[in-house]
Amino acid sequence: MPSRDIHRLIDLLILGRDFGWLHRAIDAPCVVLGRRHRILFHDERVDPLITFLLTNDLDAAIAHYLHIKLDKMCSRDRRLEKILRLYRLLTGL
């Protein structure tokens, strides 16, 4: 599972903004549910729309969608997160 820093890196690269607050909220159930936390706030069709309706910020909705997609991609291929961590280290982002 990608760290919040990796999610924030994707935000900066794609949207030019940091949505750390959003990623903290999306993954908050992790404290209680562990890896099963994805049963909440990780529906790629509904949850980004809810984020948009609550914030009126299209970039926040896109960040939410990207969070979900990145989680799925990193679950399928663990090397992706390692590559992103290395990129973050090398670029200082």
How far are the Cα atoms of 37, 40, 73, 92 from residue 34, in angstroms, in the given order?
A: 6, 11, 18, 29
Joined together, the tokens standing for residue 19 give: 């949505």
pLDDT tens digit string along 23-62? 999 998 888 888 788 878 889 999 999 999 999 999 999 9
d(CA 65, CA 85): 20
Q: What is the C-alpha R_g of the chain? A: 13
User: Is residue 93 over pLDDT 90?
Assistant: no
